Structure 1
Amino acid sequence: MHLLSKSSITTTPFLLLIFFFYFSSISSASYSETCSGIVPFRQRADTISITDFGGVGDGKTLNTKAFRAAIYRIQHLKRRGGTVLYVPPGVFLTESFNLTSHMTLYLAAGAVIKATQRLRNWPLIAPLPSYGRGRELPGGRYISFIHGDGVRDVIIT
């Protein structure tokens, strides 16, 4: 005696699939919270463009002065709500630069911030006591490409 007929064997996977999709849609509908719901996105009061400071997105021109000047402006504007630094489409070659508080670094679709490969342009900073240079090897460490020390309210998108 066979417990399963041929039709029940072919129907069972189909019913399981319907059951799965039905209950997964119910559970996903009840959980609609996202990161943007947890941490509200801050709208910035002002927007400046890296091109306003001489930035060129050709992949060859070094844009370090433009990034540093734009961030210096944001730091000293101290606009209520902060400022957006807009990077338009293109490849912007630069050395390391420091972010400041209350800013958004906004890269448009097709925008790339590319690090220069010349090591002499990368400053050494004090080592962290927890790993790498400073613990096992004497000396400092290279600063991160896009750096922020003691900053708050910073968005990179």
Structure 2
Amino acid sequence: MTTIRLVVGDITGAPVDAIINAANEVMLGGGGVDGAIHRAAGPELLAACRSVPEVGGVRCPTGEARITPAGRLPARYVIHTVGPRYRQDTAPASLLAAAYRNSLRLAQQHGCHSVAAPAVSCGVYGYPLDEAARIARDTCMAAEFEDLDLTFYLFDQQVFDTWDAVFQLRA
């Protein structure tokens, strides 16, 4: 069974094999967790992202994931995924599930066992916290990810409390 933990904290200091970044389609940094990861990782991450091929100006379409070295972060890799914009994208639930699923599959393909993830799409992309938590829980607890140690780094107490109620991890 997948080991899952929830913490309120800074994902950039996570001592894990891979950090999932809630990126945008161009993968060149931005606001929120994406900007924090890019700042902490340094110019090496930006250079690695620039080396990812673009198709029509897009390096990572919504729901997909790409992997790069982690630059100055304690992790080995950053897995960039683009979550849906809740009120703009068609089928946001399936896109959010795909973002998590594709990120975790990429982690496994690169031999990662410990992964840190944010609450993808829950910031400026406007995904409702409780619905996003249910999708994350259901996707990440799938049998195919049973060998992973996954920690969600949540950006504040409100997000933590909502996710904690959905995940019900306490004994």
- TM-score, length of structure 1 as denominator length: 0.34
Determine which structure has more spread, i.e. the larger CA radius of gyration: 1
Query: Which structure is richer in relative contact order (CA contacts within 8 A, separation 6 or more)?
Result: 2
